[in-house]
Amino acid sequence: MEPDLLEGKTSVAPESPDSTKRRQIMDGAREVFLSHGFDAASMGVIARTSGVSKGTLYVYFDSKQCLFETIVREEFAAQAQVVFSLDPVDHDVEAVLTRLGRGYVNFLCQPRAISVLRTVISISERMPEIGKKFYETGPAMGIATLCRYLESQVAAGTLVIEDCEVAAAQFLDSCRATIFRPMLLNAGDGPTDERRNHVVGIAVRTFLAAYRRVSTI
């Protein structure tokens, strides 16, 4: 939610001129990258779309690659903070995983997220450092966060898991089964909310069937 949309909010600190200009450049660059792709997006076009001079653009970002990496990192980090906000003392694993799964799939199904992923894939062979940074700050971070939550549940005796990292990755992969790949490859329309919830529900039940501690009493 945008701070200035909060009724009665009067203590929001204004952005500095530098941060405002940087945001202006990133907004323009995001528009260019999504509409032209990485290769066709020149720094000149980005500068014009952002409403700044090319010299000003280079003051903030020394290359197109640096600018793209920053946009991707911020785009996915902001979503991860919300989607992967997991409380280790919340032992209602079914509810936690359901919220996580739905949020994760809803984020992946956003057209902008799909476009960014396609762009990363298209250039990662030529620029493996971009693919590596994207993986480390996106998918790997999500797996690690869920892994830590699962470890806390194992310690609490709620779950029995041999390898929490594998279990975390398996769960996230299960949530996007039949949903993500067709969208990534433009193989059809996006899934309905009902379909997304159905797939996530199966992923949660499958996970709990495999890892929930069974009482012997």
Angstrom CA distances, 198 to 55, 108, 175, 179, 192, stand at: 51, 16, 9, 11, 10
Angstrom CA distances, 116 to 121, 143, 214, stand at: 9, 20, 42
For residue range 36-47, list pLDDT tens digits in order: 888 889 999 999
Bridge partners for 159 per DSSP: 212
pLDDT at 72 (0 to 100): 84
The model's pTM: 0.82
Rounded mean pLDDT of 17-44?
88
pLDDT at 9 (0 to 100): 35
d(CA 100, CA 82): 9
Q: Which domains does the chain have, with CATH numbers?
A: 16-62 (1.10.10.60), 67-217 (1.10.357.10)
pLDDT at 175 (0 to 100): 98
Long-range contacts of 6-12 (CB under 8 A, 24+ apart): none
d(CA 47, CA 28): 8
pLDDT at 17 (0 to 100): 55
**Between residues 144 and 16, the one the model is more confident about:** 144
Rounded mean pLDDT of 25-31?
91
Structure tokens at 30: 């995001």
d(CA 139, CA 134): 8
Do the beta carbons of residue 207 and residue 171 sit within 8 Å?
yes
